[in-house]
């Protein structure tokens, strides 16, 4: 069985539509919307291609009309694009985001997987990079051999005490220093981190037409290219 795991799509349909493989199953670890210019298309694609989808903090923000709790440097971008996402998505799509689960436990090929967007103790907002010393404590809450997380936009695989943490990185807004979209693949009992190039210039052009302030468009384009502002 091949499982493709993606996270943090952020309205970037140019990246999502270029995903080179869907596997037998497509798992999505949240943040379908905000920052990117095509939330409607991204939500539609995910609804059509995946039954395993986790709610991220940006999905939660649009679904419940609440603050996604971004860092100060990203707050203006998040707020402006959240208003845009809400203006584009119909009531059914918003209800879909609102109804997504915060966590999910799945078993495939005799292996158990715990899925959440951020961390088990704080599924929406907890920020835990690869080298954090919080992971052993988080894993105590996980009755599964694999913990799949997103949120940080940086890919990694880390093993602790016989359990494996996998972050596929961000498909729509990677923070790796380059624009290549990130994802992970489970096959033959192990995970592999992958990246691929997509027409980022086209996505950048779409950002240039967003109905938001010029400074926000400029910052969004820079994040898309470099992963930071």
Residues 18-49: pLDDT tens digits?
A: 999 999 999 999 999 999 999 999 999 999 99
Domain total of the chain:
1
Using alpha carbons, select from 30, 29, 94, 103 the residue that is nearest to residue 62.
94
Domain range for 173 is 2-226
Q: Which two tokens stand for residue 204?
A: 């950048």
Flag whether pLDDT at 229 surpasses 90.
no
What is the reported pLDDT for 125?
98
Q: Give 222's pLDDT tier (boundaries 50, 70, 90).
A: very high
pTM, two decimal places:
0.97
Tell me: pLDDT of 217 over 90: yes
* Position 149 pLDDT exceeds 90: yes
pLDDT the model gives residue 40? 98
Closest CA to 189 of 116, 134, 108: 108
pLDDT score, position 76: 96
What pLDDT shows up at residue 96?
Answer: 98
**What residues are paired with 147 via a beta bridge?**
114, 165
pLDDT at site 228: 87
Q: Which CATH number do you get for residue 44?
A: 3.60.21.10
Q: 81 with 11: CB under 8 angstroms?
A: yes
Q: Per-residue pLDDT tens for 75-130?
A: 999 999 999 999 999 999 999 999 999 999 999 999 999 999 999 999 999 999 99
Which one, of 2, 29, 24, lies nearest residue 182 by Cα? 29
Print burial letters for 72-97: b (CB count within 10 Å at least 16), e (below 16): eebeebbbbbbebbbebbeeebbebb
Q: How much is the mean pLDDT over the chain?
A: 97
The terminus-to-terminus CA distance of the chain in angstroms comes to 39
Nearest to 147 by CA among 165, 123, 174, 170: 165
Would you state the pLDDT for residue 42?
98
């Amino acid at each position: 069985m091949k499982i493709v795991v993606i996270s943090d799509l952020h309205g970037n349909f140019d990246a999502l539509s270029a995903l080179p493989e869907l596997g037998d199953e497509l798992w999505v670890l949240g943040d379908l919307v905000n920052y990117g210019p095509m939330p409607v298309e991204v939500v539609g694609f995910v609804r059509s291609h995946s039954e395993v989808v986790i709610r991220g903090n940006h999905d939660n923000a649009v679904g419940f009309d609440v603050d996604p709790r971004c860092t100060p440097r990203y707050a203006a971008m998040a707020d402006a694009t959240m208003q845009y996402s809400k203006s584009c998505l119909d009531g059914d799509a918003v209800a879909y985001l609102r109804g997504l689960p915060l966590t999910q436990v799945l078993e495939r090929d005799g292996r158990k997987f715990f899925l959440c967007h951020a961390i088990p103790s704080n599924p929406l907002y907890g920020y835990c990079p690869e080298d954090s010393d919080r992971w052993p404590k988080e894993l105590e809450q996980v009755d599964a051999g694999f913990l799949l997380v997103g949120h940080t936009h940086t890919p990694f695989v880390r093993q602790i005490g016989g359990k494996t943490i996998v972050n596929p990185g961000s498909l729509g807004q990677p923070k790796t220093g380059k624009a290549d979209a990130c994802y992970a693949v489970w096959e033959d009992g192990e995970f592999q981190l992958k990246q691929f190039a997509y027409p980022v210039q086209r996505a950048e052009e779409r950002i240039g037409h967003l109905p938001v302030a010029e400074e926000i468009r400029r910052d969004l384009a820079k994040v898309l290219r470099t992963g930071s502002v």
